[in-house]
Structure 1
Amino acid sequence: MLFDFVSTALVTLLVTLDPAGLVPIFISVTRGMNSAERRQVALRASLIAFGILVFFGVGGDLLFDLLGVGLPAFRISGGLLLFWIAFEMVFERRTDRKQNTVDVAITEDHIRNVAAFPLAIPLMAGPGAITATILLAGRTHERPLYLISLILLIGVGVATCFALFLAADRVARFLGATGNVVLSRLLGLILAGLAVQFVVDGILELIPASG
């Protein structure tokens, strides 16, 4: 059903994009910028991430054909990747990895291209979000309404990131250190369940094929 697809896709995209988790990093990479400059960085990063995710959502099937990879196999491998990301979130390793990426980018580029790197890639449109988008696109089964819904949901997820970026200072103060930790772990648990479901779906599709 469309409602089930929309609800699953929305939760998956929000968890993999992790808007709340990106707020402290956005503050870090835009340190020293004024409000107008931060707004410009947030808008540009959001547009780039949206374009990348839509590309993989629309062209996922073509990519499978070119690489010769079956959707069940990609669902299993993608589910395992998402589970690893969930593991990092629950045990607070994902934040450390993202922060290391930010530190390198600031050192090398002096914040000149932070909208494209590291914000849009790989923090927003990273491996987890791209994998989730391709997996969700595989569930549309070439139904235009489902594909349009997926594109709109990608827009909702990216827009959520953009909105939180604009309110970054207030959000960080509201959540506090404890709030950020609790939210990250809760999202990690949700993502772990979704990741296992992707693996189960892939295995169930392979069983009839092997039989």
Structure 2
Amino acid sequence: MARPALRADAVLVQAVIAGALSFAHLHDLAAAAGQDGWKAWAYPVSVDLLLVAAWHRLRNGGSKPAAWCWFAVALTASLGANVATAGLLDMDDVPAWLRILVAGWPAVAFLGGTLLAHGSRTQTPAPSPEPLPADNGASGASASAPELPPASAPATAPVPPALVALARKVADEHRARTGTAIDTSILRARLGVPLRLAEAITTHHLT
């Protein structure tokens, strides 16, 4: 498990070294272009911050062309300073056009940073509401279907005569034993028939 940690540390050290060298080159170029004191140190900070802001916008959404444009501007400023301080430019006699570019950089960086910070971001469309699942219960049926007028009771299925005779015998025995008429639940339990059939026998054959 030690190798990933060492590899991560090596990458971090490399990033710190590269950043420090680029920072120093930007400072040296700004100082050679007439920006002395704290201003020379502010230039590399400005360039690096614009580079980070553009990369952050690229990673987190927004206007990709604008983010790439400002990323290229900041990268060009950083690479230009590195190349200019490599001996290709007389640091004691900086040309006027480079002095103008260095002097105008704060306005460019301010504009780029403002646009990146307050530019339009890509809005994730809100998910459309999912349709509610159909309720199979009685409440869902009553809510979704219009109320119908009460229908007439279904016709009673014919009861076999043998079952009617048995039901009357059971009812007579119950009346003789208790002195009261047998009710539907007791008749259903004694006969072992469905409730609807017991109701039909009680209603149509025992009254």
Same fold (TM over 0.5): no
**Who wins on radius of gyration, i.e. which is larger?**
2
